[in-house]
Structure 1
Amino acid sequence: MGHRTPLYDQHVTAGARLVDFGGWDMPVHYGSLLDEHHAVRTDAGMFDVSHMTVVDVTGAGARDYLRHLLANDVDRAPVGKALYSAMLNAEGGVIDDLIVYRRDNDYRLVVNCGTREKDLAWLAKQSEGFAVQVAERPELAIVAVQGPRARERLGALLAPARAAAVSDLKVFGFAEDGDWLIARTGYTGEDGVEIILPGADAVALWQQLADAGVRPCGLGARDTLRLEAGMNLYGNDMDETITPLQAGMGWTVAFGDDRDFIGRAALEAQQQAGHEQFVGLILEGKGVLRAHQKVISAAGEGEITSGTFSPTLGLSIALARVPAGTEGKAEVEIRGKRLPVSIVRPPFVRHGKTVYQQ
């Protein structure tokens, strides 16, 4: 039996199909992945993401510590804003990707569940020599409410201060009210919020949202939505052997000054030497693109890192790592056959609309 989030009983009652995900018993769907996916693209859906690990970083040295630890620069985020970053090893490989929330006097991180133990050990090891405390917050749950009507539907259920926060937040902004942190962030390519809150509060909120017609969504729809939105999944699209530059995450690396972050020298060397590029693929015929399928192009061979059937587009899409200079058309090997694909720039879908460009 895996770990269970505070919402486990709600998932069982709602008829979820549960799977082991990073050691947690999580819902993969509640009957129809497609219906859940479309609910988020057209209205509102909710996800239990309480398996993610919340870590608070406090102390006089917190800023210096995070500027050393992360490839992105926490100074890019003013107080009340969230920042996406990778945490790298000395070779520039991605130990994990995470969100940092910059608060008045400290910082909150949310890291992936499958890398929890590795991350916590790395955070502790790198804290040596800094005046900093790193504390996991296992009592906190996370509920994501996503979709074009997500904020409107959520706001209608909340007390005035929290409802105001939900309606007023800018993208990547967050507000705190008591022990709730409400952030206008997500992993779907739609508007919405993610709420970090005590476990008991999460159970009550989930029930209120369900009663108001917000559809529970599982990991299956979470994956199709994030892939359409061109968002990376740790362990698929990047890992400890892949740098942000090879994973389409160059925008999350702040080289701006001489800040000495872990992995910087390796990334600068890779920039000089050149590296693979990260692209989107669209299958032109029937079939489904999947991770680890081979991509054959005029510039050489590459590999799909994530692939799926896109419910919004009605065709198969993928993210892939390919040789530099790959463009136009390529082929993917599926069950011994070579099928044509178009190379595009992700994201594929944002705010319910097709946005990819060739």
Structure 2
Amino acid sequence: MTQQTPLHATHVAAGARMVDFAGWDMPVNYGSQIEEHHAVRRDAGMFDVSHMLALDLEGADAKAFLRGLIANDVAKLVEPGKALYACMLNEQGGVIDDLIVYFLSDTAYRLVVNAGTADKDVAWMQQRLAATGAAATLGVRRDLAMIAVQGPNARAKTWAAIPGAEAASTALKVFQAATLGDIFIARTGYTGEDGFELTLPADKAAGTWAALTAAGVKPCGLGARDTLRLEAGMALYGNDMDETVSPLDAGLAWTVDFKDENRDFVGKAALVANGARQQALGLILEDKGILRSHQKVFTAQGEGETSSGSFSPTLEKSIALARLPLGVAAGDAVEVDIRGKRLKARVVKAPFVRNGKALV
């Protein structure tokens, strides 16, 4: 049986089309997915992301534990609320999950992990805590809901909807969070637009959603969330990386921190030994058709594969992220196997779109 977020009844009442996503009954759209996409690029839209899981890591060894758990280095987090995007790896250098870590203090961090990997992530972290003997505890926060408000007008409309939000968050830098009572306001997102991700008590979710709707924020489903993140060149776990794919091959080398030679982390030895064997680049289809995941790509340097693909409402073209052979460069002409036909595509550097502007 699929799980339901605290906003499930709100989505059903609004006529959302519901689908099973990672074991959760979630809205894919409320009508026009294209309109929802454009609302985020041009104004403000919001998503129920309560299926994702917040975790609170606390204890004297919290910092040291995280430095060994993830490939990015939490030691660079010194400002309260500052966030870090990171990959949690297995011993082979594959990605168990990608997550966000918020620094609250040297002994307290908040982590947000993906819905489909949440149980696996918690089990892995508990296993690592036991194996290392770290003096830290992991709190699983299923009592919380999460709402992402995104778009050029997202912050202003959030301030209009939530009393005190402007004073609490107006000075926030990108990838930084603050608290307003029992609401955790983070200037983060998964769309390539500005905005907030709000974490709040589950019983406040419906009222906050209604207030945001009244302020002119458009409810959006997972369909628009996927095309937005693809345009923004943001990786999706299970498509663009998984336990068999290294972050060095998935366009996530920037999330791996090797600066401190004395810091060891799970998967480091494998990354050092293997290096990058592929590279992640963008594709724009020049023939008629639709790019999807797991399509073979033919290049002068050998074969690659698309990892995510869809129609881009902003560019009005089909686009994809792909893992391609080393040596392929932006501007190269390639071919993609779509239903047995080789169609022409052009290699570009992602992102395709950021802050409402086409970049390719």
> What is the rounded CA distance, in whole Å, between the counterparts of 2:103 and 2:181 in structure 1?
16
For residue 348 of structure 2, what is the aligned residue in structure 1? 344
- Is residue 177 of structure 2 the alignment partner of residue 174 of structure 1? yes
> What is the rounded CA distance, in whole Å, between the counterparts of 1:158 and 1:94 in structure 2?
37
In the TM superposition, residue 176 of structure 1 has moved relative to its aligned partner by 1.0
For residue 37 of structure 1, what is the aligned residue in structure 2? 37
For residue 359 of structure 2, what is the aligned residue in structure 1? 355
> Which amino acid is 1:319 matched to?
L
Higher mean displacement: 96-105 or 30-39: 96-105
In the TM superposition, residue 232 of structure 1 has moved relative to its aligned partner by 0.2
> What is the rounded CA distance, in whole Å, between the counterparts of 1:228 and 1:150 in structure 2?
19
> What is the rounded CA distance, in whole Å, between the counterparts of 1:281 and 1:90 in structure 2?
31
SS at match of 2:236: coil
Q: 1:158 aligns with which of 154, 158, 162?
A: 162
- Is residue 194 of structure 2 the alignment partner of residue 187 of structure 1? no
> What is the rounded CA distance, in whole Å, between the counterparts of 1:76 and 1:180 in structure 2?
25
For residue 81 of structure 1, what is the aligned residue in structure 2? 82
SS at match of 1:50: coil
Unaligned runs of 5+ in 1: none
> Which amino acid is 1:240 matched to?
E
Q: 2:153 aligns with which of 149, 167, 175?
A: 149
Unaligned runs of 5+ in 2: none
For residue 60 of structure 2, what is the aligned residue in structure 1? 60
SS at match of 2:101: strand
> What is the rounded CA distance, in whole Å, between the counterparts of 1:138 and 1:278 in structure 2?
34
Q: Mapping of 1:95-110 within 5 angstroms? A: 95-104=96-105, 105-110=107-112
Deviations 1:31-77 (A, max 9, x none): 11000000000000000000001110000010010000000001122
Q: Is the 8 A contact 1:280 1:319 kept in 2?
A: yes
> What is the rounded CA distance, in whole Å, between the counterparts of 1:61 and 1:31 in structure 2?
48
- Is residue 251 of structure 2 the alignment partner of residue 248 of structure 1? yes
> What is the rounded CA distance, in whole Å, between the counterparts of 2:289 and 2:167 in structure 1?
46
- Is residue 335 of structure 2 the alignment partner of residue 331 of structure 1? yes
Q: 2:134 aligns with which of 127, 130, 133?
A: 130
> What is the rounded CA distance, in whole Å, between the counterparts of 2:197 and 2:172 in structure 1?
12
For residue 121 of structure 1, what is the aligned residue in structure 2? 123
Deviations 1:96-155 (A, max 9, x none): 000001003400000011011111110100012100101100000000000000000110
Q: 1:322 aligns with which of 316, 321, 324?
A: 324
In the TM superposition, residue 212 of structure 1 has moved relative to its aligned partner by 2.0
Give the length in aligned residue pairs: 353
Q: Mapping of 1:179-328 within 5 angstroms? A: 179-257=182-260, 258-271=262-275, 274-327=276-329, 328=332
SS at match of 2:170: helix
SS at match of 1:254: coil
> What is the rounded CA distance, in whole Å, between the counterparts of 2:321 and 2:113 in structure 1?
22
Structure 1 length normalisation: TM-score? 0.97
Deviations 1:273-305 (A, max 9, x none): x41111100001211000011000000001000
> What is the rounded CA distance, in whole Å, between the counterparts of 1:157 and 1:111 in structure 2?
27
SS at match of 1:36: helix
In the TM superposition, residue 211 of structure 1 has moved relative to its aligned partner by 1.7
> Which amino acid is 2:89 matched to?
L
SS at match of 1:303: strand
> What is the rounded CA distance, in whole Å, between the counterparts of 1:170 and 1:119 in structure 2?
28
Q: Is the 8 A contact 1:166 1:193 kept in 2?
A: no
Q: Is the 8 A contact 2:160 2:215 kept in 1?
A: no
In the TM superposition, residue 178 of structure 1 has moved relative to its aligned partner by 2.2
> Which amino acid is 1:151 matched to?
R
> What is the rounded CA distance, in whole Å, between the counterparts of 2:75 and 2:198 in structure 1?
23
Structure 2 length normalisation: TM-score? 0.97
Q: How well do the aligned residues superpose, as a CA RMSD in angstroms?
A: 0.9
